[in-house]
Amino acid sequence: MIPITLTVNGERVTRHVEPRRHLIDFLRLDLGLTGSHAGCEHGVCGACTVRVDGEIVRGCLVLAASLDGAEVTTIEGLSDSGEVADLQAEFVARNAAQCGFCTPGMVMTAADILRHHPQASRAEIREHLSGNYCRCTGYQAIVDAVEATLAQRRQEAGR
Amino acid sequence: MKWPAIGYIRARSLDDLWEAQRTHGAAAQVLAGGQTLLATLAFRLSEPGVLVDITRIPELRGVSLAGGALRIGALTRHAELARDPLVARHAPLFAAAAPHIAHPAIRNRGTIGGSLAYADPAAELPACAVALDATLHLLSARGERRVKAEGFFTGLLSTLLEPGEIIAAVEVAPASPAQRTAILEVARRSGDYAMAGIAAALELDATGRVAAPRLAFFGVGDRPVLANRANVALAGRVLDAQAIAAAAEALGDDLDPPADLHGPPEMKRHLARVLLRRALTQFLPAKEMAA
C-alpha cells in the first residue's frame, strides 16, 4: 500500500492505496465520489474525465498512487463551485443528457473549452469533445449546449 | 478490465531510478505519462512487476535552448509541446504535431519520451523526430549516449533502448528562417492513430531551391519511414509542380506498407502520395499556389 495525501475538491485527503488502483476507482470506491464514471477503463471513452492539477485527464489512465500532492477536481467539485452552472443549465434545457452516463465527462471536457477556448467555433467544440463518447449519440444537443454557453459568456463579457 | 497486481516506486531522482532497477531487474518498468502503458495493463498486454514512476525526476523535465540546440526533456507532455514558446519558435513541427495526438485529456498526460520509447509506427512524434534529424539522449546507470532518431527505431515497437536505459531528452537544431515544416495525416476519426501521415522538413532558399529535404512517413511501415528516394528527387531543385510530381513518383519505391485493418498496401501508397503533394504544396510561394 502506498500512502498518498492529496486535495480532492478542495479537501485534504490522506489514504493508503494499492498501486493497481486507478484514480476513478479511488474516487468512487475509496472516497464515495461516484460522479466520475468508469466506462471503458482503457482511455477511450472519456466518461472518467476529471481535473488533475487544473487540467483534464483520463482518470482511468492515472494511478492513484502517483498523485501524492496533487489537486483533483471531480464533477462534484466543479458543480459545487458554480463554475459551469450556466453550462449545466443549457444541458438541462436541451436534454443534452439521455442516459447520462457520459455527462460528467462531457461537462468536465466542455468546462475545459469554456476555460481555454472561449472563442471556439462549432468545429473546434466538436474536435475538443471528440475524445468523449456518447453512446446514445446525443452529440448535437451537447455541442449545442456548449456553443450556446460560449455565446452567452461572450455576450456578457462584451457588456 | 482492472489492472493486475503491481508494485509502485516513486523515483525522485535518477539515483532512485537506478536503485529500483538494481533491486527489481527486468521486472521494473518505467512509467512516464502512462497513456499507453496503463491501457496495456488493462488489456494484460503487459504485466510489469513494478512500475517506477519517473515523472518527478527533475533532469528529465523542461525545454531549453543551450549550446545552439533545443533540448526537450523526455517528460514534456504533448499539451506542453503545443504551447511552449521555445518549441513554437525552434521546432514548430513538434508544436504542430501535438494537436493530432489523441485527445486533450490524453495530451495533458502523455510525454514525448514515452511516445518515442513506445515507437508505435503510426504515431506522430517518432516521425517528427526523424524528419527533424533529432538526436536522442539515452541515459542509464552506465552513463549517457546519443543516437540519431533515424536509427533509433528498429522495427515494430522496437528501438535501440537497452534494458535499464531511458530517453532523457530530445535535441534538435533550432529551425532556420529557411526551414519549412508540415505534418498532415489521414485518420478515420479525430484522435485516432493515422492510416497514413507525413512529417516533412526542408529548407527553401531565396530562389525557391530545396535543401536538406527530410520527408518522414508514419502509419505506412513497421517504423517511421524516411523517404530517401523522394528526398533525393527534391534536393537541389526549385520547388514547383514538377518537383512535387517527381517526389511523389519516387515515393513509390520508398514505401513497402503492410496491409492492415484499414486496407491494402496500394491504398497506403496512394494516401502517402496525396499527403506528400499536400504537404509540399503548402511550401510553394503564393504565386505558385495560385497558378
What's B198's domain CATH number? 3.30.390.50
Note whether B3 contacts A: Cβ–Cβ < 8 A: yes
Given this model, what pLDDT does residue B285 score?
A: 79
Note whether B290 contacts A: Cβ–Cβ < 8 A: no
pLDDT at residue B289 greater than cutoff 90: no
Q: Are residues A101 and A153 in the same domain?
A: yes
| Number of domains comprising chain B | 3
d(CA A52, CA A49): 10
Q: Are residues A69 and A130 in the same domain?
A: no
Query: Percentage of residues in chain B with pLDDT exceeding 90?
Result: 92
Q: Are residues A68 and A118 in the same domain?
A: no
Q: Are residues B151 and B184 in the same domain?
A: no
Among the partner residues B1, B7, B39, nearest to A19 by beta-carbon distance: B7
Q: Are residues B11 and B87 in the same domain?
A: no
Task: Please list every residue in chain A whose beta carbon sits closer than 8 Å to the beta carbon of residue B7.
Answer: 19
Beta bridge partners of B30: B52
Domain that holds residue B267: 180-290
What nine digits make up the cell of A105? 465527462
Mean of the per-residue pLDDT values of chain B: 96
Given this model, what pLDDT does residue B47 score?
A: 84
| Number of domains comprising chain A | 2
Q: Are residues B68 and B151 in the same domain?
A: yes
Cβ separation B8–A109 shorter than 8 A: no
Is B36 in contact with B118 (CB distance < 8 Å)?
yes
- Residue B2 counted as domain residue: no
What nine digits make up the cell of A153? 459568456
CATH assignment of the domain containing B24:
3.30.43.10
Q: Are residues B161 and B195 in the same domain?
A: no
- Residue B156 counted as domain residue: yes
Q: Which residues of chain A fall short of a pLDDT of 70?
A: 159
- Residue B1 counted as domain residue: no
Cβ separation A19–B6 shorter than 8 A: yes
Q: How far is A127 from chain B (nearest CA, A)?
A: 7
ipTM of this complex prediction, to 2 decimal places: 0.96
- Residue B116 counted as domain residue: yes
Q: Are residues A97 and A153 in the same domain?
A: yes
Domain that holds residue A13: 2-78
Segment B208-245, tens digit of pLDDT: 999 999 999 999 999 999 999 999 999 999 999 999 99
Residue with cell 460522479: A35
H or E element that contains B72: strand B69-73
